[in-house]
A and B are shown apart, each in its own frame.
Chain A
Amino acid sequence: MTASAPTFPVTAADSAPEKSFAWWAMVCVCATEASLFAYLIAANFYLDLQSSRWPPAGIARPGLLKPALMTASLLLSSAVLIWGERGIRRNNARRLATGLCGTLLLAALFLLLFASEYRDKLREFVPAQSAYASIFYVTTSLHCAHVLVGMLVLGYTLLRVLRGHFSAEHRVGVSVATLYWHFVGVIWLAVLTTFYLAPRFS
């Protein structure tokens, strides 16, 4: 054969995790989950359009203090995660582990704030009361479930980091977990806009 015969390397010359199957599958998962939230949010606006007042009479416009803190904790957690992921790109597993712990702590803070927010809301209204209450609770608690799944994924990744599974060349699992966590943060921004910001403009 000539010197220009094609070669078929069995290990990737470029180990970018964005080329892995798992990363592509996670992009698909995010797309379908984003659609799920999009339909719930659309349902909210549809019910809004069908009613004279949204939130209905007797329910105050939602306050912004706790949601602002929740937003800050999620955004900060994503930033910490990016910092940690940069570490593993330079083979610094310790920095990644630190980043994951920081992210998990901020996620736990989000959950605490969420629980406190729910305690207040449940005093004010319960799902059975109105369509507004129902769509509010189902969308926010579905998002909270996604935060919990995200925390499980990050905790799982932390376990694997501690077992020495990852390096600069092998970090697909980290990238996939990171992608999911950023996605959960983006969804929160949509939920925040729908249930906390939009009522201020209607």
Chain B
Amino acid sequence: MVPELRRRHRLIWQIGALVLILGFCGAVWVLPKPGFSASLVQQPHVVFPQVLTTKKVDEFSFVLRGNLQGEKQLEVTIQKPLTIPSAQIYWQNNFIGSLGSKGVQLFLLPKELVQKGDHVLEMRSALDQSAFQKITFTLRVQIILPYNGTVKKNTMIAS
């Protein structure tokens, strides 16, 4: 091997040693914890108890859920693998998360995006942002009257 080639090899491996060791340590550092998926990091782990409405469109099932604190949650069930390589979900034109593979996924809906009236949910391809599924949820306020006749709480219901 000519000295010039030797010098190139030496330089490559000096830089390579640094890159490989730093990269290796970085990859170990960000190793996911068991049972935790980073792609679902924004998604809640607790299923809210109250079912506000359910919808089924093609291979998707949607359940809009709520809890006693008035928070809302969207449960999406994908019954067969998506043909879109990377799909995102939008609520009222706001990105709320990426859709994973087949299965049940939960998305927390920001309070300011869940008001009385119609709400549009769109599923878009991450590649060209084209919507391949569009569903409308209508929310209205229902007043629950307990037995003593006094107004206890305004509860949002959906259809």
Q: Do A and B bind each other?
A: no
User: Chain B: residues with CB nearer than 8 A to chain A?
Assistant: none
